Amino acid sequence: MMIEESDPSGQRSVLLVDLNNFARYPTLPIGYLAAVLRRANYAVTVFAPLMVGVQGVTREPRPHRFSLVAAKLNYRVATSSRDWVRRWRDRAAAKRLSGISSHEAQVLAAVKAEIAIAKPQAVLISTYLMYRDTCAQICLACKERGIPVVIGGPYFAQLDVIEEWVRLPGLSALVAGEVELRLPTILETLLAKNDPSTHAGVVTTDAHGRPRGGIAPPLQGLDSVPYPDYSDFPWSAYPNRIVPVITGRGCGWGVCTFCSDVTSTAGRTYRSRSPQNVLSELAAHHRRFGVSRFVFTDLKLNSNIEMWRSIIGGMQDTVAGSRWIAAVHAGTEADNGLSESSLRAAAKSGCVRLTTGLETGSQRIADSMKKGTRLETISAFLHGTAQAGISARCTMILGHPGETADDVEASVEFLARHRSVIERVSLNRLHLVTGTALHRAVKRKPEKFKGFTIVHENAGMAHVEHRHDVVHTASHRRAAMRLLTEVHRINSRELSVNAREFEGVM
């Protein structure tokens, strides 16, 4: 085993490996880690697969000639009553969707080359759960060189997931929670060959392979976190110069049954930065990188109405000529900042697209999801965005417990009636995720979910395979096919001119 020599200057060196690999803009968590570590005088090197030509996932690519046929075939296979057919499809889909997994050998070779060049004293990996195999190989490569490895990511806030990951051979520690401000101290403990699990939010294993350590509580005082440092990313490889910004962590609503975002490390409870801090960050990115295009990655930007209105009021004074997109929680009866006048003001401030969680055209199913929305209010929001000149994007879910063919038909009807005011629809089959309110409810009281059962749980991937009897019926399948057709009809249109540079971003 070879151990890398330390920097004679005494400066600690770290390699950040980005396995989130967004195709359209730099990765926000890596930017935060780089900023925190550099502030603590660490020498930081960043590796992202995009640097070696491996593209990340492009969200919602523009439909092609055979997209509708492919979507219907994919749905038919995914909802097959035959287990082996569904499993074959899931494996094929995972490989297709992950540019990293399908180019694992290329990524691993590039990471090893970067380690040889940078000679880091520690390697930190930011990852999604789908890249477990890649992470395992990086851990083994670092183990051969005697380099400690720390892994973190958005879903290491579930004990079942942590227990499946913390035993990876060669892994030194798993980050569970928001520890970025304490990361330099954690690394000092690790590099001194002491147990980092003495720090909240760090998990290791004992001599018997049992996990030790715990999950850190949600981070408070977000203004104390330095602005993310995106200087290491391959700016020339992105179609447009877009910067991600997050104004708050968690969701101001936070109770939708299916949502896994609110159970992620940063999603637990809602916390907000100050508007002044956010506007100052926008100005800093504009000065440093010459960017005037921003994507707000908040789960719901209007969770904090003061923040929402401050961005609208201060964006153009902060970065003249800027354009931006965000997600919002529309359809509630309370004041959520989405009146017609507010939407016109948002458009004037540079907002060119807003995403909202429609999820279903059935009020009954929306209520069972605990969306807190009214379809007539969402309808008013969609017409308001169109009148303001803002492109509207809706997310939808197919196959929620209790859903019938009539509920799916209601979704078809809603989209058909609003075809002229919706520019994009992201339709997904229900993905049951470990730790969500829905997952917990099905496990706690399965008798309440007739025809909806858990088949298998894969804790390492936070995926819960389930069976929903209704999706195998002829009436539900016919309705689903009509819904796919309506979605395709909407998504096949050209985006509004102002929104085109953000196509595929979120």
Strands 173-175 and 202-205: antiparallel
Domains of the chain: 13-57+100-212 (3.40.50.2300), 240-502 (3.80.30.20)
The pLDDT of residue 2 is 39
Burial of 38 (0-12, 13-18, 19+ CB in 10 A): middle
The pLDDT of residue 307 is 97
Report how far Cα 442 is from the mean position of its chain's Cα atoms: 24
Q: Which pLDDT band holds residue 5 (cuts at 50, 70, 90)?
A: very low
Indicate the SS3 state at residue 149: strand
The pLDDT of residue 3 is 40
Report how far Cα 115 is from the mean position of its chain's Cα atoms: 27
Q: Could you read off the pLDDT of 89-104 as tens digits, one per residue?
A: 566 555 555 556 678 8
Mean pLDDT score of the chain: 92
Q: Which two tokens stand for residue 462?
A: 């936070």
- The three state secondary structure string of 421-441 is HCCEEEEEECCCECCCHHHHH
Answer whether 370's CB lies under 8 Å from 384's CB: no
Segment 140-145 shows an average pLDDT of 96
Q: Which residue has the tokens 């694992």?
A: 104
Higher-confidence position of 137 and 59: 137
Q: Which two tokens stand for residue 463?
A: 């995926």
The pLDDT of residue 1 is 38
Q: Could you read off the pLDDT of 350-361 as tens digits, one per residue?
A: 999 999 999 999
In whole angstroms, give the CA distance from residue 35 to residue 245.
Answer: 14
Q: Could you read off the pLDDT of 296-324 as tens digits, one per residue?
A: 999 999 999 999 999 999 999 999 999 99
Q: Which two tokens stand for residue 58?
A: 């492009």
Question: Side-chain half-sphere of 261: how many Cα atoms within 13 Å?
Answer: 15
Q: Which pLDDT band holds residue 77 (cuts at 50, 70, 90)?
A: confident
The pLDDT of residue 505 is 83
CA nearest to 502, candidates 333, 374, 350? 350
Q: What stretches of 402-498 show up as alpha helix (H) in DSSP?
A: 405-417, 437-444, 474-491
In whole angstroms, give the CA distance from residue 103 to residue 110.
Answer: 11
Q: Which two tokens stand for residue 273?
A: 């930065």
Lowest mean pLDDT across 103-117, 375-389, 411-425: 103-117
Indicate the SS3 state at residue 498: helix
Q: What stretches of 49-199 show up as alpha helix (H) in DSSP?
A: 67-78, 83-97, 99-102, 104-118, 132-145, 159-165, 183-191
CB neighbour list of residue 56: distance below 8 Å, 6 or more residues apart: 20, 21, 22, 23, 49, 50, 99, 100
Answer whether 100's CB lies under 8 Å from 50's CB: no
Q: Which two tokens stand for residue 217?
A: 């509580």
Q: Which residue has the tokens 């569970």?
A: 176
Residue 87 has pLDDT above 70, yes or no: no
Q: Could you read off the pLDDT of 128-142 as tens digits, one per residue?
A: 999 999 999 999 999
The pLDDT of residue 86 is 54
Q: Which two tokens stand for residue 10?
A: 């005494």
The pLDDT of residue 345 is 98
In whole angstroms, give the CA distance from residue 346 to residue 248.
Answer: 19
Segment 329-336 shows an average pLDDT of 82
Residue 8 has pLDDT above 80, yes or no: no
CA nearest to 353, candidates 135, 502, 189, 193? 502
Q: What stretches of 218-339 show up as alpha helix (H) in DSSP?
A: 275-289, 305-318
Lowest mean pLDDT across 64-73, 238-247, 275-284: 64-73
What's the N-to-C CA distance of the chain in angstroms? 44
